[in-house]
Amino acid sequence: MNTVIKRSGLALAIAGICLTAGTASASSHREAPFITEVPKVDGTDFYMFRSYESGRENFVTLIANYLPLQDAYGGPNYFDLDEDAIYEIHIDNSGNAQEDITFRFQMQDVLNDIQLDVGGEMVSVPLKNIGDATDNANVQMRQEYTVTVIRGDRRTGTKQVATNATTGMETFAKPLDNIGGKSFGDYEAYADQHIFDVAIPGCGTEGRVFVGQRKEAFAVNLGEIFDLVNTNPVGPRNGEGAGDLADKNITSFALEVPTTCLTGTAQTASGDPVIGGWTTASVRQARVINPAPAANGKGATVEGGAYAQVSRLGMPLVNEVVIGLKDKDGFNASEPKDDGQFLTYVTNPTLPELLEALFGVTAPNNFPRNDLITAFLTGVPDLNGPDGVTASEMLRLNPNIATTAPGAQNDLGVLGGDNAGFPNGRRPVDDTVDISLRVAMGVLADPADAPNGDLEYTDGVQLDPTELRTTFPYLATPIAGSPNDI
């Protein structure tokens, strides 16, 4: 980047946002002490971007990922979600740091007790399926879900249920995880049958929805990163191999919504609409372990009470490498309107100091980092920062910015001259790792504060964009649990 761009207001704004993002590209995997105990509700990544599938430019795609680090072979139960939890995507389109629209997903288990005649006794089988898994008659346990649209406060607002635009049903089927080639002759075709047209109340034009397993899109060596960044920070961008997540799957909630259904009063100075978004997951406050679970409806636990939020994710990596360890559970339970309590982590970030100590380079030291406050908490001026916004942490998108075709997308986003990418929303291809490393070490700072800021820092792992789909739900078909083709 040239000096003029580096010193511009836009670049300085990006610095604020990206600095808080941290150094690892796995955005929120096991980032807080409590969430390690309930991985089914661990929100890992949130994408929000103007749809770039041909003919879908008037839609915004929202993708919320949960349940990290899935080994594809993890049977026999694999990675069903928690039917006692609620998974939510929140939209702030007024700039007041409170949700105006919430899309709530709730799962429901569907049990089909399959039994075999063994010596005259009917005996339940131990496997997920006993034949072709595309036939529900051969499947013991699968899941369905509902989508509820809440306008206003998520707890007290008006609730309406979205429906399948083809059948009128209020429930949608989640595909089984990719068990392997003997259970699924063509898993991709099977999963695509679970992409549904959805009638979203108050939106008019139909959207699309998909909930199911996908291949993890992030490329990073988690072990090396958390071993005090045990890698070459100035080596080639793809010099560290495929990354620790190359053989992992994830579970995605993907929703494509008409843009006009999401926009509101929040606008940039030039009049472009701005959408703010973040994800949460909540579980019941009370959980009692059943000492004698049985198949007669008495499960391993009994859940009750009000829902308590245990996961939150907007911008990538905030809780993972920005929020102090003692406050990580608190951040997961918090709401954007209360983000003032975490202000010190922005004005006096520890990450640059840690990198300075590890590599002997000089990080920006103009404390407090007042230059970052406005950008980090309000969006990028003239790009996706609405006028009069309440300072808060969330992902923000200007849907008026034209899409970039998949083959031309720059994984450095705005830093690479591609304004359709991070931090103007976030696409699966966007490499928040390299962006964050360079910004944290001062690529956008005054050279007097960051004499090593022009180095091209990297984690050495780069996603191959050809792995991604160019159509909804954009993330790739998950890795099969069995590599054998039968």
Q: What is the pLDDT of residues 354-382, one digit of tens each?
A: 878 888 777 788 777 665 665 567 788 88
H or E element, residue 205: none
Q: How far is CA 213 from CA 170, 192, 466, in A?
A: 21, 11, 19
pLDDT, position 447 = 82
Over the range 16-35, which residues count as b (16 or more CB within 10 Å of their CB) and which as e?
bbbbbbbbbbbbbbbbbeeb
pLDDT, position 242 = 81
- Kindly tell me if the per-residue pLDDT of 18 is higher than 60: no
* Contact (Cβ atoms closer than 8 angstroms) between residue 66 and residue 254: no
- Kindly tell me if the per-residue pLDDT of 186 is higher than 60: yes
Give the contacts of 55 (CB within 8 A, at least 6 positions apart).
none
Does residue 233 or residue 254 have the better pLDDT? 254
Least confident residue range of 213-217, 365-369, 396-400: 365-369
- Kindly tell me if the per-residue pLDDT of 267 is higher than 50: yes
- Kindly tell me if the per-residue pLDDT of 411 is higher than 70: yes
* Contact (Cβ atoms closer than 8 angstroms) between residue 134 and residue 168: no
- How many other CB atoms are found less than 10 A from the CB of residue 416? 17
Mean pLDDT of 131-152: 97
pLDDT digits (tens, 9 = 90+) for 57-73: 999 999 999 999 999 99
Mean pLDDT of 16-28: 40
pLDDT band for position 435 (cuts 50, 70, 90): confident
Least confident residue range of 21-30, 369-378, 379-388: 21-30
pLDDT, position 321 = 75
* Secondary structure E strands in 203-326: 207-215, 248-258, 275-289, 301-313
> Does residue 76 have a cis bond before it (omega within 30 degrees)?
yes
Beta strands 207-215; 248-258: pairing state:
antiparallel
pLDDT, position 372 = 61
d(CA 246, CA 244): 6
Output the pTM of the full model: 0.92
d(CA 91, CA 262): 7
Main-chain phi, psi angles of 406, to 5 degrees: -50, -45
d(CA 274, CA 409): 21
H or E element, residue 81: none
- Kindly tell me if the per-residue pLDDT of 173 is higher than 60: yes
Is residue 277 helix, strand or coil?
A: strand
Put residue 80 in one of left, alpha, beta given phi > 0 → left and psi -120 to 50 → alpha.
Answer: beta
pLDDT band for position 101 (cuts 50, 70, 90): very high
Helices (H), 135-202: 187-192
H or E element, residue 83: none
pLDDT, position 374 = 59
Q: Which residue has the tokens 């990206």?
A: 18
Main-chain phi, psi angles of 350, to 5 degrees: -85, -25
Put residue 448 in one of left, alpha, beta given phi > 0 → left and psi -120 to 50 → alpha.
Answer: alpha
pLDDT, position 361 = 78
pLDDT band for position 343 (cuts 50, 70, 90): confident
Mean pLDDT of 177-183: 96
Beta strands 43-50; 86-92: pairing state:
unpaired
pLDDT band for position 425 (cuts 50, 70, 90): very high
Most confident of 321-335, 351-365, 464-478: 464-478
- Kindly tell me if the per-residue pLDDT of 389 is higher than 50: yes
d(CA 141, CA 294): 16
**Alpha-carbon dihedral 465, 470, 473, 478, rounded to 10 degrees:** -50
Is residue 328 helix, strand or coil?
A: helix
In sequence order, the β-bridge partners of residue 211 are 253
* Contact (Cβ atoms closer than 8 angstroms) between residue 281 and residue 87: yes
In sequence order, the β-bridge partners of residue 222 are none
pLDDT, position 21 = 35
d(CA 375, CA 10): 9
- Kindly tell me if the per-residue pLDDT of 210 is higher than 80: yes
Dig out the tokens for 151 from the structure: 């306008």
- Kindly tell me if the per-residue pLDDT of 399 is higher than 70: yes
Dig out the tokens for 160 from the structure: 């309406």
pLDDT, position 371 = 52
d(CA 428, CA 47): 7
Percent pLDDT > 90 in the chain is: 61
Concatenating the DSSP letter of every residue in 438-450 gives HHHTTTTS-TTT-
In sequence order, the β-bridge partners of residue 307 are 284
* Contact (Cβ atoms closer than 8 angstroms) between residue 77 and residue 111: no
- Kindly tell me if the per-residue pLDDT of 15 is higher than 50: no
Mean pLDDT of 138-157: 97
Least confident residue range of 153-157, 174-178, 255-259, 301-305: 301-305
- Kindly tell me if the per-residue pLDDT of 194 is higher than 80: yes
Of 267, 253, 224, give the one whose Cα is nearest residue 67: 253
Main-chain phi, psi angles of 279, to 5 degrees: -120, 155
pLDDT, position 20 = 37
- Kindly tell me if the per-residue pLDDT of 479 is higher than 60: yes
Percent pLDDT > 70 in the chain is: 91
Helices (H), 233-385: 259-262, 318-321, 328-332, 344-347, 351-359, 370-378
Per-chain mean pLDDT for the chain: 87
Count of residues in the chain: 486
